[in-house]
Every structure is written in structure tokens, then in C-alpha cells.
């Protein structure tokens, strides 16, 4: 066999299936893994699926690639990725390309891209979403890096990416860390989407006493309308699943402590730095954190709760929750796209938000019918100040808002926590307010720290001498 078109190192869940995906599309694929057993097992299971070149060492792996070499890393983020980059780079030549397909922090990607550029190598940080199944059958791919790297690499990635209406779910996002940044925000939105789904489940179960099986039917019905998405679809599967060992609903035998690998947390950390209020994602991250404090939760169980335990009208509440879920989802996506826009401006990435909505329509975890509407919104008005004011979304919010308020009120009345719904509604109400109490806040800051304020009727900064004559002077 000749040289390989592309190589994949790291043959765990994602790398294994990505390598198979390339092979299924007729590419010759070099495969390598730090622990050789995994490579051997891969070849034993998949050698008949396409043209693979198995390498026992990094040197052999690099040597098996056609120039300019393209090696995709699918290993754990952080130090392991740095170690693999170093090993690969040592054997590469100018013009070759290292692609990190893992969930790397965008700042690491920026650092690595700059360092490899100095050595004449291309480094492409490419977010890949879709999990195990997506990697095999077509993920959504978010590559960053130099445009000239994409010229060579892009056709290969677009070949294996998911397609929606014939359009690949892969586009060059922008320079250096842009791809991994967008993947990070994708994951933050994924956290938010999931939080809103679990709040819907919890509220309907607590308020109406519906069983997980009955709730699976509710979500199945919702998946036929505006909420149609992969996450709603798999919610029906998980809620409808029965534990074989006990015969109980699967959700009732799983420990109620949510884990996280970190991309949601990174999204919020970055949003804090950029000053973008991603309240939906932040609440989702904190809800996971709260669930992971069993000692506090046990101690707090005896605290006073509400008198009312259930809601009155079942059918109405189900429809109200559906609308609240849709409205809160619009808010979460609006916030995520704001964060992408802020980072794009900060780092000079020129990210096209409509293109991001386009490549998230298929292959990835947040794929949904809804993303087509976001694409259309940015197509109609590329400089949309917030997705909330797009006419389609503004109408949807107007349609949902009464239900949304009832849901938040019902949840508070019967003591079911809905931080996702509540924070999304608070954001919506804050954004549409004529005057915010931030004016009083500015006054307080000026009072205790002479931090100054601006006036509604004059240019400039001012300070009032609060402890003295209370006369205002230009600062």
C-alpha cells in the first residue's frame, strides 16, 4: 500500500471511529495509539473496512503519511495533547500539518499554533462534535488555523462531516483558536440545552406525578414540533429505558450527581473575561456543581419547603413547559452566539455566525431544526444585535412568554428548582427593560468608592461628594 492520506493517533472512542469514517470514504488512513494493544485491537476488528496503515511508533506513523502530512490527534486534552504534538513535530517537515480534534482549550490552541508556525508547521485546532456515532457516520467539524491549511485539509474534513441538504457540517471557522472556541461554546450550549430538558422533566414529574415512561411520550410528542432535536430525541430513549436488574425506570437507579469534563466551565470562564452574560450556560454548570455536593444536600433536606406540592391542570402545564423550554432555548443560543461574536472581535477571528448555525444543523450533539432558523436570522441580518430581536424569534418569545412566566411561578410555588428557566426569563426581562437598576448601583459605587458615573443628559464622568457638600463635579 502507498502512503496514507491522513493519520489518526489516539484510537479511543472518537479516534477509532473517525479513522473508520475516513476509510469508509475511500481514504488511506494511518492509525497509531500510545498503547500498542489498542492499535492491534483496532486492526483486528476493522482492517476489512478500508485501507489502514497501522504504525507501532510515532516515527513510523509520521513516515507513513503522504506529504504535506496530515496527522489528527484524538487524545485527552491538556498535557497529553502537548506531549503528542511534540512527538509528532519532531518527525515532521515544514508544510506538514498537525490537527488537534480533541476538546482543547482555545488558549492552548492559540499557543500551540503560534509555536508550530515558528517551526514551519501548520497546527489546526478542530472541534469535532457528534460523539461516538457522529465520529463514525459524520460529525460536525469546526476547524480553525491558517486559511492555507484549510485549503489542503478542508476537502478531507468536509468529505467525512455530516451533510444537511447537501451542505457539509464543516467550515473554516477562523484563525488559530477560533475552531476550538466555537466548539467550546457549542458544548456550553449543549450544557444549557440539557439543563432545560432536565428541568422540564423534573417539574412535570414533581408537579403532575407523571412517570418517566409517560414523560418519554411527552418528549416524543415535543420532538415533532419546534423543539425537534437530537437531545430531545435521546431524552425519550433514556426516560423510556427500564433498568434490567431492578425493573425500575433507568433514571431512578442512576446517582443524581452530574459530572463534567470541563468545556462548560471553560465557556463560562471565557464569558466572564469577555463580559458576556451567558446566564443559561452558567446556571447549567452550577446546577451540575450543586448536584455534586451530597453532604450539603443531605444536611439541607430538613429545611422548610412550600405548602403546595402539585400543580392544578396537567395538560396546560405540559404545554406551558414546552413553550418555556423553547423560549429559554432561544435565550441560551442568543447568549452563546453573543459570546462567539465577542471573542471574534477580541481575537480578530471574523467568525460568520450564520456559518456556525449551518454547521451545527447536523452531526453534532446540539443538532436541531431550530438551527436552520438561526441561520436564516443571520442571513437576513448579519449584524443582528441579539438573536432575540430577529422577527421569528421575537414572535416566538412573545408567544411563549405568558407560559414561561407561569412555569417559573409554578416551579417557585411548589419548590422545584428551575435555574435555567428562571435565569433565561430574567435575562429576557432585563434586556427588554427601558431602565435598569444599574443606575442605583452606579450611585452606590460612587458613594463608597468615588468610582464616578455617567449622566443621561450630559457627556462625561461625574462624582458627587457624598460625605461632604453633596455637590456633583466632573470627574
Ligand X SMILES: O=C(CO)[C@H](O)[C@H](O)COP(=O)(O)O
Ligand Y SMILES: NC(=O)C1=CN([C@@H]2O[C@H](COP(=O)(O)OP(=O)(O)OC[C@H]3O[C@@H](n4cnc5c(N)ncnc54)[C@H](OP(=O)(O)O)[C@@H]3O)[C@@H](O)[C@H]2O)C=CC1
Binding site for ligand X (CB under 6 A): 103, 129, 131, 187, 190, 260-261, 263-264, 365
Grid-cell match 395538560, residue found = 315
**Is 183 in the active site?**
yes
Grid cell at residue 447: 458613594
* Number of other CB atoms surrounding residue 464 within 10 Å: 18
| CB of 55 or CB of 75, closer to ligand X | 75
Classify residue 79 by burial, with Cβ atoms within 10 Å: 0-12, 13-18, 19+. exposed
What is the Cα–Cα distance from 42 to 7, expressed in whole angstroms?
14
Residue 80's binding partner, choosing from ligand Y, ligand X, none, with beta-carbon cut-off 5 to 8 A by kind?
A: ligand Y
What is the Cα–Cα distance from 69 to 80, expressed in whole angstroms?
21
Residue 187's binding partner, choosing from ligand X, ligand Y, none, with beta-carbon cut-off 5 to 8 A by kind?
A: ligand X
Residue 463 has phi, psi (to 5 degrees) of -140, 135
What is the Cα–Cα distance from 445 to 372, expressed in whole angstroms?
44
H helix count then E strand count, the chain: 19, 12
Q: Smallest distance, Å, CB 91 to ligand X?
A: 29
| CB of 235 or CB of 403, closer to ligand X | 235
Binding residue for ligand Y, selected from 21, 33, 267, 423, defined by CB under 6 A: 33
| CB of 261 or CB of 369, closer to ligand X | 261
Residue 177's binding partner, choosing from ligand Y, ligand X, none, with beta-carbon cut-off 5 to 8 A by kind?
A: none
- Element of type H or E holding 454: strand 453-454
What is the Cα–Cα distance from 103 to 184, expressed in whole angstroms?
7
| CB of 230 or CB of 428, closer to ligand X | 230
What is the contact mask toward ligand Y in residues 69 to 108, using x (rule: CB under 6 A)? Answer: -----xxxx--x--xx-----------------xx-----
| CB of 190 or CB of 446, closer to ligand Y | 190
* Number of other CB atoms surrounding residue 132 within 10 Å: 12
Question: Under a CB-based contact definition with an 8 Å cutoff, are residues 189 and 195 in contact?
Answer: no
DSSP class of residue 410 equals: H
What is the contact mask toward ligand Y in residues 35 to 54, using x (rule: CB under 6 A)? Answer: x--x----------------
| CB of 11 or CB of 271, closer to ligand Y | 11
Binding residue for ligand Y, selected from 15, 143, 280, 362, defined by CB under 6 A: 15
**Is 309 in the active site?**
no
Question: Under a CB-based contact definition with an 8 Å cutoff, are residues 250 and 256 in contact?
Answer: no
Closest by CA to 170, choosing from 32, 42, 69, 21, is 21
Q: Smallest distance, Å, CB 5 to ligand X?
A: 25
- Residue 418 binds ligand Y (CB under 6 A): no
Question: Under a CB-based contact definition with an 8 Å cutoff, are residues 162 and 140 in contact?
Answer: yes
Catalytic residue among 70, 87, 113, 190: 190
- Residue 339 binds ligand Y (CB under 6 A): no
Grid-cell match 448579519, residue found = 382
Catalytic residue among 183, 199, 283, 329: 183
What is the Cα–Cα distance from 260 to 269, expressed in whole angstroms?
15
Residue 38's binding partner, choosing from ligand Y, ligand X, none, with beta-carbon cut-off 5 to 8 A by kind?
A: ligand Y
- Interaction with ligand Y in 119-178: which residues (CB under 6 A)? 128-129, 131-132
Q: Smallest distance, Å, CB 321 to ligand X?
A: 23
Contact set with ligand Y (CB under 6 A): 10-15, 33-35, 38, 74-77, 80, 83-84, 102-103, 128-129, 131-132
> Which amino acids are annotated catalytic?
183, 190
Amino acid at each position: 500500500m502507498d502512503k496514507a492520506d491522513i493519520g489518526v493517533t489516539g484510537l479511543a472512542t472518537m479516534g477509532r471511529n473517525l479513522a473508520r469514517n475516513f476509510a469508509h470514504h475511500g481514504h488511506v488512513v494511518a492509525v497509531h495509539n500510545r498503547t500498542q494493544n489498542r492499535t492491534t485491537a483496532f486492526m483486528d476488528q476493522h482492517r476489512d473496512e478500508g485501507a489502514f496503515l497501522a504504525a507501532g511508533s510515532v516515527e513510523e506513523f509520521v513516515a507513513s503519511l503522504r506529504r504535506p502530512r496530515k496527522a489528527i490527534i484524538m487524545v485527552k486534552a491538556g498535557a497529553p495533547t502537548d506531549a503528542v504534538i511534540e512527538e509528532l513535530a519532531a518527525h515532521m517537515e515544514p508544510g506538514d500539518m498537525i490537527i488537534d480534534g480533541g476538546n482543547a482549550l482555545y488558549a492552548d490552541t492559540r499557543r500551540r499554533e503560534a509555536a508550530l508556525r515558528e517551526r514551519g508547521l501548520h497546527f489546526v485546532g478542530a472541534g469535532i462534535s457528534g460523539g461516538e456515532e457522529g465520529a463514525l457516520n459524520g460529525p460536525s467539524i469546526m476547524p480553525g488555523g491558517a486559511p492555507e491549511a484549510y485549503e489542503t485539509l478542508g476537502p478531507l474534513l468536509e468529505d467525512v462531516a455530516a451533510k444537511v441538504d447537501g451542505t457539509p457540517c464543516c467550515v473554516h471557522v477562523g484563525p488559530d483558536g477560533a475552531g476550538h472556541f466555537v466548539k467550546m461554546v457549542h458544548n456550553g450550549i449543549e450544557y444549557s440545552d440539557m439543563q432545560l430538558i432536565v428541568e422540564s422533566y423534573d417539574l412535570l414529574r414533581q408537579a403532575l406525578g407523571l412517570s418517566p415512561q409517560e414523560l418519554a411520550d411527552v418528549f416524543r410528542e415535543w420532538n415533532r414540533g419546534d423543539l425537534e432535536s437530537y437531545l430531545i430525541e435521546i431524552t425519550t430513549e433514556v426516560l423510556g429505558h427500564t433498568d434490567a436488574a431492578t425493573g425500575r425506570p433507568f433514571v431512578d437507579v442512576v446517582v443524581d450527581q452530574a459530572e463534567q469534563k470541563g468545556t462548560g466551565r471553560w465557556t463560562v470562564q471565557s464569558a466572564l473575561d469577555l463580559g458576556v452574560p451567558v446566564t443559561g450556560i452558567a446556571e447549567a454548570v452550577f446546577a451540575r456543581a450543586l448536584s455534586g455536593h451530597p453532604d450539603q444536600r443531605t444536611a439541607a433536606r430538613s429545611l422548610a419547603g412550600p405548602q403546595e406540592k402539585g400543580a392544578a391542570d396537567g395538560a396546560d402545564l405540559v404545554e406551558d413547559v414546552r413553550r418555556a423550554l423553547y423560549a429559554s432555548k432561544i435565550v441560551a443560543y442568543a447568549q452563546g452566539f453573543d459570546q462567539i461574536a465577542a471573542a471574534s472581535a477580541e481575537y480578530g477571528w471574523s467568525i460568520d455566525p450564520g456559518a456556525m448555525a449551518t454547521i451545527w444543523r447536523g452531526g453534532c450533539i446540539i443538532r436541531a431544526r431550530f438551527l436552520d432558523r438561526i441561520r436564516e436570522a443571520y442571513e437576513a441580518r448579519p449584524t443582528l444585535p441579539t438573536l432575540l430581536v430577529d422577527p421569528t424569534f421575537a414572535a416566538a418569545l412573545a408567544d411563549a412568554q405568558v407560559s414561561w412566566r407561569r412555569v417559573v411561578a409554578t416551579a417557585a410555588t411548589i419548590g422545584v428548582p428551575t435555574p435555567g428557566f428562571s435565569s433565561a426569563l430574567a435575562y429576557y426581562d432585563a434586556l427588554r427593560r427601558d431602565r435598569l437598576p444599574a443606575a442605583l448601583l452606579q450611585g452606590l459605587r460612587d458613594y463608597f468608592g468615588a468610582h464616578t458615573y455617567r449622566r443621561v443628559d450630559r457627556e462625561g464622568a461625574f462624582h458627587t461628594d457624598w460625605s461632604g457638600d453633596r455637590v456633583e463635579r466632573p470627574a
